Structure 1
Amino acid sequence: MSVNDTSTTSSVDVFDISGRVAVVTGAASGIGQAVARHLAACGARVACADLPGEPLEAVVEDITAAGGSAVTVPWDVTVEEEAEAAVATTQDRLGPLTLAFNAAGIANATPALDMSLSQWQRMYDVDCTGVFLASRAQGRAMIAAGGGSIVNVASMSGTIVNRGLVQVHYNSAKAAVIHLSRSLAMEWARQGVRVNTISPGYTATPMNTRPEVAEQARQFAEDTPLGRMAQPEEMTGPAHFLLSDAASFLTGHDLLVDGGFTAW
């Protein structure tokens, strides 16, 4: 059965991803790490991709120690050649790629009037161009495999402007990720590849405990209708849904996972 053919799929197994090959960028920390662990726990064979180093190795060691299937794939998402190489490595080691979760990203804050061009460009290189390069390489592989699902991590900051945070580069880059993903979804819809985004609200990741926002963490929680920030693990369910055949008729969608923040 094709990865997008659900004609014989029952309601019991539409969430089943066991045996599927997935790649997760940004797997060394935060949401990417949580999703990589989750997918492996659900039986997927997971390529954990991030900058090389001990944090990435530790994630894969933990997954394999728990009985999961995972490999490390060193990958700087800003380098074009590394995207194709990383996908090729994933397929050589694990099999045909049909699932991808792109979480690699950075964040920082500076008033627009004080922002250097290099700071602006670095944000776009990682948070937007990196997503494009990853998605393009993954899309090529999935089209060749008969289909698949890509989920890119955007942010509620791609929809709203956060009170108290001066991050025009981050906000606009995440808005670009949403529209990039919609555009790819439309290009690849007839070729069996779905592309969606999740837009987390305030989440207790290293990104949201960086020095310039640490003092605002309590305010982040108070401003969220549910009264707290999310834990990274709370993004695994939405990610799993969008990746799985349960979302087989869903593409070009941005799923806000924000504790109700954007409903104010």
Structure 2
Amino acid sequence: MQNCTDTALESIHLYFQKITDLCNKNADFPEELHTCLQTASAIISKLIHFPGKVESEDIKYPGTICRDIYQEMAEVIEHTGNTIYKMLLQLTGAKHILYLPDCSSSSVLSSLGVLIPEHSRIVVGISDLHEKEVTQGSLWKESIDMRIGSTTDVLKELVASGEQFDMVFIDATEQNLINYYNLIISSNMLKMNGVICLQRKTSQMNSSNENETVARKITDVINADPGMEQISKKISWTMYRESVQLCKREWTNYSGGMQKGISNDAVFSGYNRCCILDRLRLDGKVAYVTGGGQGIGRAFSHALGEAGAKIAVIDIALEKAKTVALELELKGIKSVAMAADVSKEEDVQRIVDNIVANWGRIDIACNNAGINMNSASEDTTLEEWDRTFNVNLRGLFMCCQAAGRVMLSQGYGKIINTASMASLIVPHPQKQLAYNTSKAGVVKLTQTLGTEWIDRGVRVNCISPGIVDTPLIHTDALKPLVQCWMNDIPAGRLAQVTDLQAAVVFLASEASDYMTGHNLVIEGGQSLW
């Protein structure tokens, strides 16, 4: 509960403001008295907003206090407002925003122009061309869609074009507010789980009974709407000169929709109330990628990191792993580089132990490291065979086992192994007996673990890429084979590492929880010919 002294100070401050406003309207009012009133008002403001910061110098030299206090308050208010709106946008994930209040008299629009996430868009209703020219100069032009005209005309234009928004800002004291609200809701302009943000300036809140009546009426309308979260449950806050109230559209409560045959099920409202794109997110997950220093492993590291996971980049060449980890850090992705030879049991156990020690768990194990040593079958040595299997199959098994033990203890985890199209067909004209056989083993290992562990929360799947355009392809030994491969691929091109990124995110996410032991083939149709 607010302290009585604070309430009294606020009341006195409001009276001083009103007296000062009256002074400004009277040219004959003594300047000295006007200055005294303004100074007293500033001191009270500082007592309210900065308790304990009023010093004797403020009273002894009142001539500068107004400028100093208001400057300090402006900086704090701007920072606080920006932080709150940034948090609001992050929490709601709003990408498409409609802003209707008078932007010329509020700092919110400029804040949104700076703070809205990349690839987001804000549509703004502007009353005249001059205001548009003034406002546009300080905002991201590519993010702001200025619409000139009255609020009613702007809304009708947006309805006609079928626009939908994640968040709508409205002036809570606008006289036609209820009409605007009804038009937004009836035209389905606000998306499911979309948020309406009602803004009221402090000056508006205290300026007239008429504004209070408008605010009460819109509250009653929202409370009576079964499709909106009750206003009594709203999120609200008050900043200096501005009060904000949020209400959320809950279509699951919309009885009218249910009467029209709309089922309130997981398809309509989303599994666990999450849309499909949200279910692909990996926020808070911990992942590692072996062979992450180049090629497919590098692409997997970036994809999993962009989806929200922390990434341990593991490679036999530490410098390559460090380079990829640096790339991730530059993109704001938490990462670490580790050196390991996955054919060595002690290296595999070390990286798993280190990841758990640093991040507490392993949610995603991307076992991608592999080698290929081309030779005719009659010329394949046992050394070549053993080296290939030690990395491609034995090493992959050790990674699955070590990470799997952690995941089984957690009760959840995703293991994604890199197999190959060579597990399905015999690619030609290259000769690679050891490689083909090892990758067929990866598929069968994946299927076996996938069936054994799914009822304990661990899913094991693999990806079988076709021939991928990596630096290895451009070596003198393989260049002559490229055209032959192209003739075998219905897509008419080699795979790019980016062709594989969506697959690894899907298999790592909860969206694939019912999939296990699957070999996801991405080869442009080559295995069909």
Amino acid at match of 2:468: T
Q: Which residue of 2 aligns with 1:218?
A: 483
Q: Which residue of 1 aligns with 2:420?
A: 155
Q: Which residue, out of 273, 297, 300, partners 1:35?
A: 300
Q: Which residue of 2 aligns with 1:10?
A: 274
Q: Alignment length, in residue pairs? A: 259
Deviation at 1:208, TM superposition (A): 3.3
Deviation at 1:165, TM superposition (A): 1.3
Give me the whole-angstrom Cα distance separating, in 2, the residues matched to 1:253 and 1:152.
Answer: 10
Amino acid at match of 1:23: Y
Deviation at 1:126, TM superposition (A): 0.7
Q: Which has the larger radius of gyration?
A: 2
SS of the aligned residue for 2:463 comes to strand
The question of whether the paired residues in 2 share the 8 Å contact of 1:73 and 1:90 is answered with: no
Amino acid at match of 1:249: Y
The question of whether the paired residues in 1 share the 8 Å contact of 2:423 and 2:440 is answered with: yes
Give me the whole-angstrom Cα distance separating, in 2, the residues matched to 1:208 and 1:150.
Answer: 28
> Higher helix proportion, which one?
2
The question of whether the paired residues in 1 share the 8 Å contact of 2:291 and 2:370 is answered with: yes
Amino acid at match of 1:63: L
Q: Which residue of 1 aligns with 2:390?
A: 125
Amino acid at match of 2:368: A
Amino acid at match of 1:57: K
SS of the aligned residue for 1:86 comes to helix
Deviation at 1:217, TM superposition (A): 1.6
SS of the aligned residue for 1:199 comes to strand
Q: How does 1:49-68 map to 2 (within 5 A)?
A: 49-68=314-333
Amino acid at match of 2:424: T
**CA offsets 1:109-156 (integer angstroms, 9 cap, x no match):** 100111111011100001111110111111011111221110100000
Q: Does residue 446 of structure 2 align to residue 181 of structure 1? A: yes
The question of whether the paired residues in 2 share the 8 Å contact of 1:106 and 1:123 is answered with: yes
Q: Does residue 337 of structure 2 align to residue 72 of structure 1? A: yes
The question of whether the paired residues in 2 share the 8 Å contact of 1:106 and 1:207 is answered with: no
Of all paired residues, the percent bearing the same amino acid is 34
RMSD: 1.5
SS of the aligned residue for 2:363 comes to strand
Q: Which residue, out of 453, 460, 468, partners 1:203?
A: 468
* Worse-superposed segment, 86-95 or 193-202: 86-95
The question of whether the paired residues in 2 share the 8 Å contact of 1:109 and 1:212 is answered with: no
Give me the whole-angstrom Cα distance separating, in 1, the residues matched to 2:273 and 2:288.
Answer: 24
**CA offsets 1:57-106 (integer angstroms, 9 cap, x no match):** 11111110121111012111000111111111112222311111111001
Give me the whole-angstrom Cα distance separating, in 1, the residues matched to 2:461 and 2:518.
Answer: 5
Deviation at 1:222, TM superposition (A): 2.7
Give me the whole-angstrom Cα distance separating, in 1, the residues matched to 2:317 and 2:505.
Answer: 26
SS of the aligned residue for 2:272 comes to coil
Q: Which residue, out of 22, 30, 41, partners 2:287?
A: 22
SS of the aligned residue for 1:97 comes to coil
**CA offsets 1:198-222 (integer angstroms, 9 cap, x no match):** 0000111234344432221222223
Amino acid at match of 1:187: E
Amino acid at match of 1:179: K
Q: Which residue, out of 406, 426, 429, partners 1:141?
A: 406
Q: Which residue of 2 aligns with 1:114?
A: 379
Deviation at 1:9, TM superposition (A): 5.5
The question of whether the paired residues in 2 share the 8 Å contact of 1:43 and 1:69 is answered with: no
Q: Which residue of 2 aligns with 1:251?
A: 516
Amino acid at match of 2:509: S
With normalisation by structure 1, the TM-score equals 0.94
